Amino acid sequence: MITTGGLIAGAQALAESELKKQAIKYLKDSVIEKWSGYRADKFFKAFLEEVRKESDSRYDSADLNDMLRKVAANDKQSSAIFDAYRKVALSASKDIGPMIIGVLTAIIVLEDREAAIDEELIFQAAETLNDLDFNNLVNWWSRKDKRVIEERGSLKIFVKYGPHQPPGISMGRQASGIDDVPLDVVSDVGIYALKLKNLGMLTELRVPRANPAVAGATEYFVIASPACRRLCEIAERVKSVEV
């Protein structure tokens, strides 16, 4: 026997279920689709601009629509665009990351090839770093210490001297070098540096002081791999261009 109370409880449960569905739909439409669409728009604009620029330089002002039709008809190239779009949807960055992915995808598609290992690392960085990270990375890259040494495509970038010894420390302790602590990339460079380090794009280097008795003469560097260099260069370019 169905009681009045049971009917009321059932109606309330149905109403709550409907409200939840409406709330989920609202969040999906107003939040998820909004920001997914925003990222996709940044990606496609950067992609199309790079295709247009590269097509003009390679094929004497080739028609953009013709180029895009050829890309769409090529399974490998269209698959590369789809994979890139998936990366964009998951990117922590709303602006710079999707634009980097768009530029790099256009280069790969126009060359009709698979992404190289370094390019896969750049894609991962574009997914991982947020816009604040990219802004800080570009600022650091543009004003990095002039003492930059190129070694096999990587850049050795000076960060600081150290460590600073507390007052009263003994000469014996200084000479032992036990206070030459590792570089703290978060505090000495930035959180973006830790993220790039975790991706294998940035490493640390400590050059011990030549004279152990001289405190604070240890040199600390970071090594930007070729992939890291290219990431920074693309980030600088897309950050300076409105698309």
pLDDT tens string, the chain, 243 residues long: the values are: 556 565 565 556 656 666 666 666 655 566 667 878 899 999 999 998 888 887 665 555 556 667 677 776 677 888 888 899 899 988 999 999 999 999 999 999 988 899 999 999 999 999 999 999 999 999 999 988 777 889 889 999 999 887 665 545 555 555 555 556 778 899 999 999 999 999 999 999 988 777 766 666 788 999 999 999 999 999 999 998 754
Alpha-carbon distance of 78 to 70, in angstroms, equals 9
pLDDT of res. 217: 77
**pLDDT given for residue 151 in this prediction:** 87
Assigned token pair, 25: 């739909």
- Residue 128 has what pLDDT? 97
* DSSP secondary structure letter of residue 62: -
User: How far, in whole angstroms, is CA 177 from its chain's centroid?
Assistant: 36
Q: How far apart are CA 80 and CA 85, in angstroms?
A: 9
Query: Which residues lie across from 160 on neighbouring strands?
Result: 220
What pLDDT score was predicted for residue 179? 54
CA distances 76 to 82, 115, 227, Å, are: 10, 11, 23
According to the model, what pLDDT value does residue 225 have?
97
pLDDT at 233 (0 to 100) = 95
92, 129 Cβ separation under 8 angstroms: yes
At residue 115, the pLDDT reads 93
